[in-house]
Amino acid sequence: MKFGVVRFPGSCDDVDAQLAASRVGEAVLLWHADRDLQGADAIIVPGGFSYGDYLRAGAIARFAPIMEEVIAFARDGGPVLGICNGFQVLCEAGLLPGALLPNDHLRFRCRQVTVEVLNTDTAFTRACEVGERLSIPCKHTTGRYYAPDPDALEAGGQVVLRYAPGENPNGSLRDIAGVCNEGRNVVGLMPHPEHAVDERVGGSADGLKLFASAAVALA
Amino acid sequence: MAAEDGGLRARVLIRPKAGILDPQGIAVERALPALGFKGVSNVHVGRLVELDVEDASQLDEMCRRLLANPLIEDYEIVK
Amino acid sequence: MAAEDGGLRARVLIRPKAGILDPQGIAVERALPALGFKGVSNVHVGRLVELDVEDASQLDEMCRRLLANPLIEDYEIVK
Amino acid sequence: MPDTATLPTIDDAVALGLTRDEYALIVDKLGRAPNQVELAMFSLLWSEHCAYKHSKLLLKTLPTEGRHVVMGPGENAGAVAVGDGLAVAFKVESHNHPSAVEPFQGAATGVGGILRDIFALGARPIAVLDSLRFGEPEASERSRYLLDHAVAGIGHYGNSIGVPTIGGEVYFEGPYEQNCLVNAMALGLAATDRMVRSAAAGVGNVVVLFGASTGRDGIGGASVLASAELGEADADKRPSVQVGDPFAGKKLMECSLDLLDRGLLVALQDLGAAGLTSSASEMASKGGVGIDLDVARVPLREAGMEPFEIMVSESQERMLCVCEPARLDDVLAVCARWEVHGTAIGEVTDTGSMRIFDGDELVADVPVPALVDDCPVYTLAPEPPEAPPYPAPVRVLAADASVQDALLALLASPNLASRRPLFEQYDWIVQSRTVRRPEEADAAVLALPDGSALGVAIDGNGRRVAADPYRGTIAAVLECAANLACVGAEPLGVTNNLNFGNPEKAHVAWQLAESVRGLGDACRALGVPVTGGNVSLYNEGGAGPIYPTPVIGMVGHLPDANRAGRLGFAREGDAIALAGWDAAPSLAASELSKLHGEPLPDGLPEVDLARERAVLEAIRDAVRAGELRSCHDIAEGGFLVAVAECCLAGGLGATLDLGPSDDPWAHLFGERPGGFIVSGPRAALDALATRVPLDVFGTVGGDALELRIAGATTRWPLGGLGDAHRRLARYFP
Ligand SMILES: Nc1ncnc2c1ncn2[C@@H]1O[C@H](COP(=O)(O)OP(=O)(O)O)[C@@H](O)[C@H]1O
Ligand SMILES: [Mg+2]
């Protein structure tokens, strides 16, 4: 199992994602200007502030050369996980529905949140149980999820993760914390599972399940 | 409006789509009365992008692909 | 431009002051060629504030005290 | 040498902050009057900020030697060895005045600046801590504005560049109303044998400027030099507010570390305040060489910049390096990979002079020693004031307030309330090292690759220093050491930022001298070297000087990250003890006395440093042994506040039985160093009792804090304590 973690100028959690992924498989960094996915079986678009979040979070990064390959890989059903800024990039790239807007309180907020798994039939939640609660930190300024037709998303099982009652840190529509595409192979979420893989520094290891899921998917 | 280099100086106004919560607008609207400004309403905060372009016909595509996100924003090109 | 309620719909354009670093403008200008948009230069990114005001004479003070940061931004009021 | 402009006058020199005598000395050193560019360069390097004119002699008295020291004062930051072939570089620096003008950008560029000092050494930045001082937030809208924007600015830069902000401190006191303090500390990790110094070397080597282009940022004062050519209309071409660009900073950081990893550089130096002038001259000075620079090759953000403007510009996100000519192409290729602009702008010479060219034209020629070493240093004329010259705070707690109300008022007071509304705006987890988050322990703890960890704390209670500059500064050092002991860390090194008023005032000079004496004595007593720091003087407002505020940053090491201490009560039924104190604390200069509106006392009680050290070592050993379930030092607010904090952090109540006391108020709310609230199994507490005075006074459990003292019982449900403790949230709507 080989993970490829994209590195844009301004990516911050790329090495963390690589560390987390390497707990369940091999993990390499993919340079934004290359067009080579290095034979990765799953792609992670990590957190951070690609291109400084200037103009609009994810707006510039989604045009990086490597993204052409990631988009093609995703269209062929390859598993792609977008975390925080990566989620923003995948929405901007049209691989995931909706968009992420500035938090309703307009501040950066870093805190441990509890999310509930709604759909386990995706490339990154297979190792979870429906209704299972995961404790994962989130940290962002632009995480308020919006989609024009949330009913359709829910009906289609595209809402993968929901903030537990009272835990919505950003004003996201219907407490949506993570979504997937119709093919279930592309998943994006605002919380940072790569920062919840080691009790010692993560306060929880629940996030490991998302990476393990990718391995299960391929096994 | 003409740009120094003879090209065109274009201005793009980008607004949050109607119906989408605009917390920045709300924050401004809340702050104004506190400063003694009465009778202000319907405040919205968006983005302003100004640029020199040689080929103005590219502007619309530029807005759709990069400067604005049509899902959440409307844009207006002012030349 | 008239606002629904008969008051005035005002538009404020807020730009980075000349000479003040505009990181966003630089980032956008750098990105455009990569997207195949050539001949774009002098890109600046600012903010757009639109609001209904009953008393337009307050606008200038509003800009100085809240909407713009006079230390690093210039503003232009368009009525 | 050919003269470019009409020579500036002695009045221009004075307008630039030099004295007439200093100007005369410059003329003497050059054997002629300096031209415009040269005077601009002298005005920067002979400024208080660069030359430490009023503090150098005091700083010389600080202990800087220690077996762990890898780099001491003199480099961009200090560094200590932490085993496993690794060293930790760390330094605190101030950005007070820019933050008072534009708090968001001022604080953001302050973080950017200290991070560049760290990676200039070849150390990857792994953490930021912030130290903030503002006026009273309840009374002052300006202070609330400064707080809100400075915190957002720190988060903006640190979060965006991917370095966690793992701790900090903030105090609110009237004397900071006009002159807030924004200090930032950064830590970096490097392989000891890979660290670089900033000494330029190798005649004929190339000097490369890389990073952001150069604009008129920060050219405030120096613009008087341009008044000759520029009319009023051009005044707005002289912005002096610097805008931080963390994205450019991130690329610059990765690029610099990449260049060093590939072994392409001879020397590396950041461009901080005083820009190209101080970076290039300091590199030349440390290497005992000369440097030629061509300002015409410097990439500019704005057209028509004068040579002197290019030399003094404070534009952010720039670095200067020296490489061998054969490596230049590789260096520029690495820059290009990171989308960082790199340009060869000069070379190392054997002239011993800084020679500045504008194309072919020589526009400045100054011997390096004259710029860097020959600035006169001044001995202070200290005079203690009659009494601390600060107005008494406004009373906010009734004289007859009950113990019940006093505890709630203290927990809700801006200096004690939870800092969560601040630190939630900081990313404290990126880089996957943060073993102890804010409010989990008294010191931040960062895991190291070998399973050991770093403990870091920053502190400096200005009000206590104002009451007694010598003992107040000792207390600040002890507070940091106590925070480290609570997580089990042994102090390895200290950095400090001396924030004071105008040292030409006798009583400020006295505060500064006494404070540095206290810093030196405390560090010697604890056996901790001072490896670096910064000095910020002239912090005054209309109402006079700020509280004297030495901000102490301390870095320590603990052998096992898994045993890092926690402050919250952890288990029902655990015994709670007070450890360390051998004498009752005093209400003098305490937080309670502030709430009561009492003026500062003239002096603080004496502390026995040898004894304090023994207590700190005993606490540290007990935490390392892993048997204590919680450990928290008693600081502002005193004993009862500390216990309440243990309850809130652990989500558990406690029952305390204190028995009779001749002065219950001092007992409950008095302050003095060296006291700790520990909890755990009785056996663990008994073991600690063999080394320090220890009094078991309570039990963990329930959903309230219950206090029995002298027969009376007072009860605080945790919910109520929590509501009080969350009071700062109101300033971040
Ligand atoms: N209060 C202090 N205590 C110890 N060393 C100090 C202090 N203030 C400054 N220094 C040292 O003096 C040197 C110059 O400081 P500074 O000019 O701030 O460096 P830079 O320009 O790289 O920030 C540094 O090595 C710094 O650590
Ligand atoms: Mg430096």
Asked if the model's pLDDT at residue D234 lies above 50, the reply is no
Asked if residues D34 and D28 have their Cβ atoms less than 8 Å apart, the reply is no
Residue D95 among the catalytic residues: yes
For helices D609-625 and D506-526, angle between their N-to-C axes, nearest 10 degrees:
50
Chains linked to C by 3 or more Cβ pairs within 8 Å: A, B, D
Find chain A residues with C-beta within 8 A of C21's C-beta: none
Asked if residues D551 and D558 have their Cβ atoms less than 8 Å apart, the reply is no
Residue C56 carries which DSSP code? G
Q: Which of D95, D149, D632, D667 is catalytic?
A: D95
Residue D373 carries which DSSP code? T
ipTM: 0.93
Task: Convert the pLDDT of each residue in D624-641 to its tens digit.
Answer: 999 999 999 999 999 999
Which of C17, C26, C37 would you mutate first to test chain B, the one with the most B CBs within 10 A?
C37
Task: Give the closest residue (by CA) to ligand 1 atom 9.
Answer: D534
Task: Convert the pLDDT of each residue in D49-103 to its tens digit.
Answer: 899 999 999 999 999 999 999 998 888 899 999 999 999 999 999 999 999 999 9
Q: For A10, name the nearest residue in chain C, comparing CA atoms only.
A: C27
Q: Which of A32, A140, A192, A195 is catalytic?
A: A192
Q: Which pLDDT band holds residue C4 (cuts at 50, 70, 90)?
A: low
> Which is it for strands D342-349 and D290-294: parallel, antiparallel or unpaired?
antiparallel
Which of D148, D161, D301 would you mutate first to test chain C, the one with the most C CBs within 10 A?
D301
Q: What is the Å distance from ligand 1's center to D73 Cα?
A: 6
Task: Convert the pLDDT of each residue in D30-44 to its tens digit.
Answer: 999 999 999 999 999
Strand order across the D165-172 sheet: D69-71, D78-81, D86-94, D181-191, D124-134, D165-172
| CA D563-D569-D572 angle, 5° bins | 115
In this complex, do C66 and B28 lie within 8 Å of one another by their Cβ atoms?
yes
Asked if residues D159 and D68 have their Cβ atoms less than 8 Å apart, the reply is no
Q: What is the mean pLDDT of chain D?
A: 94
Name residues whose C-beta falls within 8 Å of residue D148's C-beta, 6 or more positions apart in sequence. Answer: D103, D731, D732
In this complex, do D162 and A195 lie within 8 Å of one another by their Cβ atoms?
no
In this complex, do C51 and B66 lie within 8 Å of one another by their Cβ atoms?
no
Task: Convert the pLDDT of each residue in D90-112 to its tens digit.
Answer: 999 999 999 999 999 999 999 99
Q: How far apart are CA D733 and CA D729, in angstroms?
A: 7
Task: Convert the pLDDT of each residue in D380-412 to its tens digit.
Answer: 999 999 888 999 999 999 999 999 999 999 999
Q: Is C77 on the interface with B (CB under 8 A)?
A: no
Q: Phi and psi for D409 in degrees, rounded to 5?
A: -65, -40
H, E, C per residue of D260-285 = HHCCCCCEEEECCCCHHHHHHHHHHH
* Pocket of ligand 1 contains residue D59 by CB under 6 Å: yes
Q: Which pLDDT band holds residue D231 (cuts at 50, 70, 90)?
A: very low
Q: What is the pLDDT of residue D235?
A: 45
- Encoded tokens for D404: 């019940």
Sign of CA dihedral D120, D121, D125, D131: negative
CA distances from residue D30 to D20, D293, D312, D355, D365 in whole angstroms, order as listed:
15, 19, 20, 13, 9
Taking the CA of residue B19 and the nearest CA in chain C, the distance in Å comes to 16
Q: What is the mean pLDDT of chain A?
A: 96
Q: How far apart are CA D108 and CA D546, in angstroms?
A: 22
Residue D341 among the catalytic residues: no
Q: Is A171 on the interface with B (CB under 8 A)?
A: yes
In this complex, do A110 and D424 lie within 8 Å of one another by their Cβ atoms?
yes
3-state secondary structure of D390: coil
Asked if the model's pLDDT at residue B3 lies above 80, the reply is no
Q: For C16, name the nearest residue in chain B, comparing CA atoms only.
A: B48
Q: Is C34 on the interface with D (CB under 8 A)?
A: no
> Which is it for strands D544-545 and D540-541: parallel, antiparallel or unpaired?
antiparallel
Q: Is C60 on the interface with B (CB under 8 A)?
A: no
Task: Convert the pLDDT of each residue in D133-176 to its tens digit.
Answer: 999 999 999 999 999 999 999 999 999 999 999 999 999 999 99
Q: What is the Å distance from ligand 2's center to D132 Cα?
A: 21
Q: Give how far the C-alpha of residue A57 lies from the chain's centroid of Cα atoms, to the nearest Å.
A: 14
Q: How far apart are CA A56 and CA B31, in angstroms?
A: 25
Of the candidates D102, D106, B45, the residue with the CA atom closest to the CA atom of residue C73: D102
Segment A87-98 shows an average pLDDT of 98
Q: How far apart are CA D258 and CA D256, in angstroms?
A: 5
Task: Convert the pLDDT of each residue in D420-463 to its tens digit.
Answer: 999 999 999 999 999 999 999 999 999 999 999 999 999 999 99
Those residues whose beta carbon sits under 5 angstroms from the ion ligand 2 are D 76, 117, 270, 272
Task: Convert the pLDDT of each residue in B28-65 to its tens digit.
Answer: 999 999 889 999 999 999 999 999 999 889 899 999 99
Asked if the model's pLDDT at residue C31 lies above 90, the reply is no
Q: What is the Å distance from ligand 1's center to D12 Cα?
A: 28
Taking the CA of residue D150 and the nearest CA in chain C, the distance in Å comes to 15
* Pocket of ligand 1 contains residue D282 by CB under 6 Å: no
The secondary element (H helix, E strand) that includes residue D534 is strand D530-536
Q: What is the pLDDT of residue D233?
A: 41
Q: How far apart are CA D103 and CA C45, in angstroms?
A: 21
Sign of CA dihedral B74, B79, C6, C12: positive
Beta bridge partners of D321: D208, D268
The secondary element (H helix, E strand) that includes residue B46 is strand B40-53
* Pocket of ligand 1 contains residue D530 by CB under 6 Å: yes
Taking the CA of residue A21 and the nearest CA in chain B, the distance in Å comes to 31
H, E, C per residue of chain A = CEEEEEECCCECCHHHHHHHHCCCCEEEEEECCCCCCCCCCEEEECCECHHHHCCCCCCCHHHCHHHHHHHHHHHCCCCEEEECHHHHHHHHCCCCCCEEECCCCCCCEEEEEEEEECCCCCCCCCCCCCCCEEEEEEEECCCEEECCCHHHHHHCCCEEEEECCCCCCCCCHHHEEEEECCCCCEEEECCCHHHCCCHHHHCCCCCHHHHHHHHHHHC
* Pocket of ligand 1 contains residue D533 by CB under 6 Å: yes
Task: Convert the pLDDT of each residue in D264-303 to its tens digit.
Answer: 999 999 998 889 999 999 999 999 999 999 999 999 998 8
Q: What is the pLDDT of residue D228?
A: 38
Q: Is A148 on the interface with B (CB under 8 A)?
A: yes
Q: Which of A32, A84, A92, A138 is catalytic?
A: A84
Q: What is the pLDDT of residue D222?
A: 60
